[in-house]
Structure 1
Amino acid sequence: MCKVISLLFLLWVSFFSYANDIIEFNFHNIPIRFSNAVIVNEYSTRIPFKLVDRLIVIEGSIKNKKGDFIIDTGSETMILNKVHFKIHPYLREKKTKTSGILSMVDNPLEKTIKSLSIKNLTLENRNSDIIDLSHIEKSKKMKLLGIIGFNILKDYEVFIDLYLNQITLTKIDKSGNTLGKDVYLEKIVDSLDFKLKKHTIVIDGFIGKENVRFGLDSGAEFNQINRKINKRALKHFYPKQRVKLSGASGKKIEVLYGNLFRVNLSKTIYFGPMKTILTSLHNMNKAFGTNLDGVLGYDFFAQKRVIINYQKQKLYFIKYPLLR
């Protein structure tokens, strides 16, 4: 008998099920503020986060509403929870379809956030969709105001540190160079190139000796590998049990859950066993316009302190302190 779990292991599953609810909101110069942020220098802000199950969550506020925001590199845009915001009857259609998972939506509606502030960092004229995220909110037992995605993160060098539970955002120029100096006290020990497919970080790597293509998604609570992957790669997946995942629409899918071994991205960047789900990636590849063999999520960030530079299309790895 299969065990039923309600974890939203990939946020894109939720968006796919609720795609018809997508609209967009205008804040009319009302800023979004993230509490407990620390100014490192003129261009860098460090924000502590908490883990809600396996999701990276920061605290923030919009006007008089206080709540949580999920950091999700797999989301194309900033997304706000319709449950907490008034919806205006006048909305205009987007001139083009939204890329990524939201490309599955015909004629989505949009407006613009005039100003978003993260302490001393201000963004202007950024699009934000509104979706009913109540299913995530109830499942995770938190007040979810929204999700911070690619269209916000791409203008920064993003250091996600699960060792210290903090995220550092450093403003970059058009070439991807950080505007501030001496941002990191920690030592960068390695780096890796990636390709940006629309908003998806795509990494070439290996499972054992087999070439595979991964997407990197901080909103994925568990890794995923495609059940149609090469059998020589699949032999490094050790299933533990069958589980039923409860999606946003209430539908349940049965998948194999276990540990994935022998993942490496280069001769020097490799991983211990990672919690992984074996499932179909057909819908995600279709929506993202990619051809991924797998998705690296929480376990990737738990094992590697990583800096993401979207402009340079490069990952940098910070040294983990030796544990005695």
Structure 2
Amino acid sequence: MPVSGGEGAITLGNLSFKTLSSWVSGIDSVTSVIPFTRAGNLIILQGKADTTAGNFILDTGAQHLVLNIIYFRDYPKIPVKGAERTSVAGVSAPVIKTIVKSFVFGEMKFVRPKADLIDLGHIENTKGIKILGLLGMELFRQCEVIIDYENSLLYVHQIAKKQAQTYKSSLLADTSAYQTVPISLNDNRIVARLEMDGKNLDFIIDCGAETNLLDSRLPNKVFENVIITGRVLVNGTGTRKIEALSGSANKLTLGGTAIGAMPVLITNLGNTCFSYNGCIQGVLGFDFLSFNKNKIGFNFVTRKMYIWK
């Protein structure tokens, strides 16, 4: 089936669809308080793609909405020329996209969003539950998101244009309860800058990563602050696994505040989707996001992260 497109639109056969700028129905703000469950360290939310409803993983490490091709194999497939999906285990299958008529989770409603089609059977086998897909970063670009690990609640507010510089959740009223740290969004990925013993390190924040990762190619000076404790096997995309070192990173600070010892897996990130422009030194996953067992939040419009004390 012929496919063409440009910025703001994509054509599939005789059908033309607008892209992200028109995904969210309506122009007013929308607020959702969504209960979640956990499968290991993964956050599981309920969502509905067209008529298919079920479990979706909150995954800010994914750039877009992802659908498990096992359950959406009859959807139209749009190959992306020259693009391949990568993980810590290396390169896997080519990128294939599709169009969803509607997607809903909580009060958030998206009209004709694009989605990546991926086989997520390896996650289902590991966690023992049915997974329909991943909620990627592009869905949240106009939102404030607060993850309450203690009460298993996700607060999502779609920020209207008139609220862009003024909106703040009532959970942020007590400014003494949390720390504010600047973040950036690069290619639909959340990036935070940490410092280790005087060296700046850029980390992707990934709610779908069950552990923190550190690039093995970093200078020896960095690893002088890492205590190695063993070796483990790391799952990549699909069934492939690679060996990594496990350890504890010390002398890390974020926004001028010491983090303390942080568990990390050390592996080469050179062939992953996390290494665009060669500028990412690691990944902050569940061990970081939930380290105080309380709350962590993000305002993707003002580019701020909120870390509760």
For normalisation by structure 1, the TM-score amounts to 0.74
| Residues 248 and 185 of structure 1, relative CA distance in 2, 3 Å threshold | closer
Report the CA distance shift for 1:67/1:242 in structure 2 as closer, same or farther (over 3 A).
same
**1:150 to 1:111, Cα distance in 2 relative to 1, 3 A:** same
Residue identity over aligned pairs, in percent, reads 26
Which portions of structure 1, spanning 4 or more consecutive aligned residues, are displaced by more than 4 angstroms? Answer: 61-66, 96-102, 104-109, 178-182
Within 5 A, what are the aligned runs for 1:143-292?
Answer: 143-174=130-161, 177=164, 183-184=170-171, 187-188=174-175, 189-268=178-257, 270-284=258-272, 288-292=276-280
Q: Is the partner of 1:299 in helix, strand or coil? A: helix
CA shift at 1:80, angstroms?
0.8
Q: Work out whether residues 60 and 66 of structure 1, in 8 Å CA contact, stay in contact via their aligned partners in 2.
A: yes
Aligned to 1:126: 113
Q: CA RMSD in A?
A: 3.1
Deviations 1:265-294 (A, max 9, x none): 1223x3232221011110126763441111
Question: How many residues of Structure 1 are paired with residues of Structure 2 in the alignment?
Answer: 276
Matched, 1:71 2:48: no
The change in CA–CA distance for 1:156 and 1:283 in structure 2 (over 3 A counts) is same
Q: CA deviation at 1:180?
A: 6.5
CA displacement, residues 168-201 of structure 1 (integer Å, 9 cap, x when unaligned) = 1001134772886754266343211122211121
- CA deviation digits over 1:50-81, x for unaligned, max 9? 22111111233446644311101110110011
- CA distance in 1 between counterparts of 2:247 and 2:163 reads 38
What TM-score comes out, normalization by structure 2 length? Answer: 0.77
- The answer for the alignment partner of 2:287 in structure 1 is 299
Q: What is the letter of the counterpart of residue 130 of structure 1?
A: L
Q: Which moved more, 1:49-58 or 1:287-296?
A: 287-296
Distance 1:54 1:119, change over 3 A: closer
The one of 114, 138, 143 equivalent to 2:125 is: 138
Deviates more, 1:123-132 or 1:108-117: 108-117
Kindly indicate whether the alpha-carbon contact (under 8 Å) linking 2:84 and 2:93 is maintained by their aligned counterparts in 1: no
User: Contact 1:100/1:199 (CA < 8 Å) preserved in 2?
Assistant: no
d(CA) in 2 for partners of 1:278 and 1:193?
25
Equivalent residue letter for 1:294: G
